[in-house]
Amino acid sequence: MLKPTLASPALSKPQQARIISATGVPGDDREFLFTDQDFERIRKLIYERAGISLSPIKRDMVYSRVARRLRATGLRSFTEYLRLLEQGDPVEMEAFTNSLTTNLTSFFREEHHFPMLKEHLRPRMNKGAITIWCSASSTGEEPYSIAMTVAELYGGIPSDVKILASDLDTSVLDKARQGVYPLERVSKIPEAMLRKYFIHGSGTQEGVVLVRPELQAMLSFRQINLLDSSWPMRGPFDAIFCRNVMIYFDKPTQHGILEKFVPLLAEDGVLFAGHSESFHHADDLFKLRSKTVYELAEPAKKRACSAKRR
């Protein structure tokens, strides 16, 4: 025997149309109206600001993250919020960009790169200063992994190796500068390295670790937008890490960034890419040396040498 159920009040056709327009799903009742036009305006803004190409399947993620900014600013609609961004509010534009930047990272992620970095740097030891650029440093796990790899190679903290750690997202850069991590974030680091390069917190800081100041001194942190027409540093870098960030850019944007890497990379330098990234469309600039590790292609190498002579 079927139990009686309470019938939901029927929605009028205009109400149904409004919900479908907002979410694409009949009956999905969200806190804020979110239309196709809103999504397209957000796609345009984040592409112009950060080069990120948002696919339609990211719509729910975009709503969730940007809705937090509406609550934080006290605005009641995406229309109001997008008007604020389009009027050029610099503080909120930074917060908006930070909200849509993906920062998945971990210590020694894609671990095959770190022995390769050691072998690349070994012949350069005691031959002058070494510089490395980590161009998407997120909350710091990647540049600190690079620093530990260098320290292990040298048997101590070298004074002539410098690592530039940059990111577009200012909030994650602040976390990276602090160098404080919960124990679960460092659980895969060998115990000997953990004792050597981290300080365990106690008292109110129990359950976290702090990067030792001497290791942290190898790094400098700076906000850099890879889309900017020029970058505020000069090479040559012995190695550039640009891992798991190019996947968010379309091919023309990728090529433009790779083109700007060329004059900044040492003639025999290497570029480390992410496991799902391939630069075959830029074979005029880089050629594959090993698994997701690239070196300058001959035409680019000649151009770089010519530019340095000028």
Tokens representing 227 are 């889309």
* One-letter amino acid for residue 93 of the chain: M
CA distance 53 to 51: 6
| Residue in this structure with the two tokens 């190019």, named with its chain if needed | 246
Contacts with 310 (C-beta within 8 Å, 6 or more apart), sequence order: none
- Asked if residue 247 lies in contact with residue 217, where contact means CB atoms within 8 angstroms, the answer is no
Question: What residues form DSSP beta bridges with 163?
Answer: 132, 219
Neighbours of 187 (CB within 10 A): 10
Which H helix or E strand runs over 220? Answer: strand 219-223
User: Which residue pairs from 70-73 have beta carbons closer than 8 angstroms and sit at least 24 positions apart in sequence?
Assistant: 70/32
DSSP 51-73: -----GGGHHHHHHHHHHHHHHH
CA distance 267 to 67: 46
Is the peptide bond between 236 and the residue preceding it cis, with omega within 30 degrees of 0? yes
CA distance 35 to 38: 5
* One-letter amino acid for residue 239 of the chain: A
> So which residues are the catalytic ones?
65, 167
